[in-house]
Structure 1
Amino acid sequence: MIIPNKLKQGDEIRIIAPSRSASILSDEGVQTAKERLENLGFVISFGKHVFDKNLQNSTSIQQRVEDLHDAFADKNVKGILTVIGGFNSNELLPYIDYELIKKYTKVFCGYSDITAIGTAISTQTGMVTYSGPHFSSFQMRKAQEYQTHFFKQCLMQNEPFELKPSEHWSDDAWYLDQENRVFENTVWKTYNEGTVSGELWGGNLCTLNLLQGTKYMPIIENAILFIEDDEMTIPETFARDLTSLLQNAQSIKALVIGRFQRASKITEEQLLFILDKHPMLKTIPVLYDVDFGHTQPMFTFPIGGEVQIAAEKGSLKLVRF
């Protein structure tokens, strides 16, 4: 896999909206996120159509593709952050100029619905993309230190490093109330022990599964899968989606599951019941309640990169990213 050049202070980061529009953010939120990234030493610019919106708080396929292509083709731009997730980034996949992206490789980062477009870019160009904070994620004040630390570790340096658990985590609507937040102690948990290394694929589970049957779906056999889902899932749908992905892979090296939101009702009892259904998961390393997905804070990880897992220690190390 091609590793894009790492970001450095003084680099320009382009903000684009391949899913929902930035119009859903407050002016204060946009300014806060922009200033926080500028304080890290970056120059921030915005795509032409980032603040436009249609009936579903997005923009046309043509407008979103235009901003994506402009961001990659602009030689001054060294990294690309998505505004936020949503529901429709997979609409863009047949219209993307993947040869253009391969010619101008650069950091591309986002999560949730962005799993579709990031994965498609990786499969079609051989370039590593990143599952990590959106532009909107940098509005968050409390727990921002952890998120920013691993964003910088993954996107601004080359040396292998360990992903470590946060001290505490939250599932509250921080974007509505930054002050009155509720945090809990973080514990990464082991379902099955083992040590392994391999290529990493994954992201948001229901979004990744949208790619099955298309040329954009990666070959995940013998890969290490990182998966998570949001508050719209429930135990039954997560079980169905996980089964579909495992049947696609037939065999994987390891499974790492991001922490669930409370609204999903996927308790530890429910999750263990689901995992117990699959004999293959009793023979490979499996971790869960890990710091990525739709709870805060989150770390950044490379789609198509290489990771080492020592599940009995709860250890994750990014090797090539």
Structure 2
Amino acid sequence: MITYPFLQKGTTIGVTAPSSGVSADLHGIVKQAVERLEAKGYKVEVGETVWTDDKTRSAPAIKRAEEFTAMMQNNEIGAIVPPWGGELLIEMLEPLDFDSLKNKWVLGYSDTSALLLAITLKTGIATAHGTNLVDLRGEYSDTVTAMWETVLETKPGESVLQVSSEKYQLDWQHENPAPCVFHLTEPTVWKSVSPGKVDMSGRLLGGCIDIIRHLVGTPYGNIPRFRESHIPGEPIIWYFENCNMKTTDLRRSLVQMKLAGWFEGCSGILFGRSPANESVDNYTIEDVYQDLHHELAVPIVYDIDCGHMPPQLTFINGAYAEVVFEDGKGTVRQTFK
């Protein structure tokens, strides 16, 4: 079974940096995000790791693991939201005592997705792939991003529906701040490798594929054990987003996952929009999706709201999902059962 945390109104949100910290010149955006959360009624506790960053790390791996664990064990803290991702979160998985983690939400994406997936696979505690802290610093959030609260306030046994965005952000414009942080200018169009309406259902698992592919073959990426222990006999819907990889690197990663058994019992795959996906020798991203579709014989929907081209839906690792795609739009209903 899956264990679902619950976000209480007015709880304390812990901010720790399990990957990269925030350099001094950007401390202001963290403080701004904290002020926005406090204005919504939350209390916020910011850890030491958030304020330092060197060699892409907020702190040594053991300190990152200790601060994260302390927040997970602190009964006053109801959720943990890192400031953002980074590069080397994977270093802090080994010193992390997964058995000591309490049932509370961890929310984030990018490098944080390795921690999210590892927690769910190792413990059966649901985790939330969605907005980072610094993306909540705006005067308001777009309707898709703002759903993070509604999703995390869903009670066990209940369902929550999310719909695809109307527009998405093509490029980051840090020099041109927007009231909602993002510059949503491009029409959103979800796509499928096959024509017509697509329906898929199963347990959600996924994250930034650049990062979570490195869990293959480790104690933190044991999909067969997770399926047997927590979702016996149930299918999986995978969701991925590609941050930096060319098409051939993405293809190699997907083949590795297939060879490692990650796609056994798969009922469908979702791919987020990507700023990468660069073709190699006319091998396009559509070719990657088609090859995977032919090999696995499951529906594949892509350019969904997930990842480094916001806004993005809040996906719950471990939740039962029903995904419907038709005419460029999509819905995701997650049930916490």
Same structural fold, with TM-score higher than 0.5 when normalized by the shorter chain: yes
Does residue 87 (structure 1) correspond to residue 84 (structure 2)? The answer is no
Let me know the Cα RMSD of the aligned residues: 2.5
- What does the per-residue CA deviation read over 1:194-249, in whole Å, with 9 as the maximum and x for residues that have no partner? 4332111110112111001111114178411000011x211221222222223333
Note the C-alpha offset of 1:181.
Answer: 4.0
Map 1:34-73; keep pairs closer than 5 Å. 34-73=34-73
8 A contact 2:61–2:91 mirrored in 1: yes
Q: Confirm whether residue 145 of structure 1 aligns to residue 142 of structure 2.
A: yes
Supply the distance in 2 between the matched residues of 1:40 and 1:317 (Cα, whole angstroms): 26
On the 8 A contact 1:194/1:312 being kept in 2, the answer is yes
Identity of aligned residues (%): 25
1:206–1:58 distance in 2 versus 1, CA, 3 Å: same
SS in structure 2 of the partner of residue 278 of structure 1: helix
Given that 2:87 and 2:111 are in contact with CA atoms closer than 8 Å, whether structure 1 keeps it comes out as yes
Q: Which moved more, 1:279-288 or 1:119-128?
A: 279-288
Contact (CA 8 Å) 1:170, 1:296: kept in 2 or not?
yes
Check whether the contact 1:199–1:306 (CA below 8 A) recurs between aligned residues: yes
Q: 1:265 offset after TM fit, Å?
A: 3.1
1:5 aligns with 2:17: no
Give the CA deviation at 1:292: 0.8
- Aligned partner letter, 1:132: G
Choose from 154, 169, 174 the match for 1:157. 154
Alignment deviations for residues 153-201 of structure 1 (CA, whole Å, 9 cap, x no partner):
2111233122211111012223342249461111112223543321111
* Whole-Å separation in 2 of the counterparts to 1:312 and 1:24: 46
Structure 1 portions without partners, runs of 5+? none
Question: What is the distance in 1 between the residues matched to 2:74 and 2:320?
Answer: 29
Contact 2:4 2:336 in 1 (8 A): no
- When residues 24 and 88 of structure 1 are mapped into structure 2, their CA distance, relative to the original with a 3 A threshold, is farther
Please report how far the alpha carbon of residue 147 of structure 1 lies from its aligned counterpart in structure 2 after TM superposition.
4.1
Q: SS state of the match for residue 253, structure 1?
A: strand
Cα distance between partner residues in 2 of 1:108 and 1:68: 10
1:243 aligns with 2:255: yes
Equivalent AA in structure 1 for residue 124 of structure 2: G
How has the CA–CA distance of structure 1 residues 57 and 215 changed in structure 2, closer, same or farther, with 3 Å as cutoff?
closer
**Residue of structure 2 in register with 1:173 after alignment:** 172
Written as runs of structure 1 = structure 2, the 5 A alignment for 1:93-112 is 93-101=93-101, 104-112=102-110
Alignment of 1:202-221 (within 5 A): 202-219=206-223
CA shift digits 1:46-79 (9 cap, x unpaired): 1133212333342101210111111011110010
Query: Residue 188 of structure 2 aligns with which residue?
Result: 186
Q: Distance in 2 between matches of 1:188 and 1:254?
A: 15
The partner residue of 1:122 within 116, 120, 124 is 120
Q: CA deviation at 1:131?
A: 0.6
Q: Secondary structure of the residue that 2:221 maps to in structure 1?
A: coil
Q: 1:225 to 1:218 in 2, by over 3 A?
A: farther
Pick one of 272, 276, 289 that aligns with 2:290: 276
Distance of 1:74 and 1:47 partners within structure 2: 13
CA, structure 1 residues 166+237, in 2 after alignment: closer, same or farther (shift >3 Å)?
Answer: same
Aligned partner of 1:207: which letter?
Answer: I
Q: Distance in 2 between matches of 1:160 and 1:202?
A: 20
Please give the alpha-carbon distance, in whole angstroms, between the structure 1 residues aligned to 2:251 and 2:239.
Answer: 15
- Does the residue aligned with 2:49 lie in a helix, a strand or coil? coil
1:228 paired residue number: 241
Q: Secondary structure at the match of 1:22?
A: coil
Quote how far apart the aligned CAs of 1:128 are: 0.7
- Listed one character per residue, the Cα deviations across residues 82-120 of structure 1 (whole Å, up to 9, x for unaligned) are 11111111111111111210xx21111111111111111
For the residue of structure 2 that corresponds to 1:95, the secondary structure is: coil
Between the aligned partners of 2:64 and 2:318, the Cα distance in structure 1 is 24
Tell me the SS of whatever aligns to 2:177.
Answer: coil
Aligned residue type for 2:26: S
TM-score where L is the length of structure 2: 0.86
Alpha-carbon offset, residue 141 of structure 1:
5.5
Aligned length: 316
Q: Is the 8 A contact 2:273 2:307 kept in 1?
A: yes
Contact 1:16 1:46 in 2 (8 A): yes
User: What letter corresponds to residue 126 of structure 2 in structure 1?
Assistant: V
**Residue type of the partner of 2:189?**
V
TM-score by length of 1: 0.90
Residue 302 of structure 2 aligns to a residue in which SS? Answer: strand
**Which residue in the other structure is 2:230 paired with?**
none
Query: Where does structure 1 differ by over 6 angstroms across 4 or more consecutive aligned residues?
Result: none
Deviation at 1:279, TM superposition (A): 4.8
Indicate if the aligned counterparts of 1:23 and 1:57 stay in contact, CA closer than 8 A: no
**Distance (whole Å) between structure 1 residues aligned to residue 25 and residue 247 of structure 2:** 30
Task: Say whether the 8 Å CA contact 1:140–1:175 is kept in structure 2.
Answer: no
1:295 maps onto 2:309 in alignment: yes
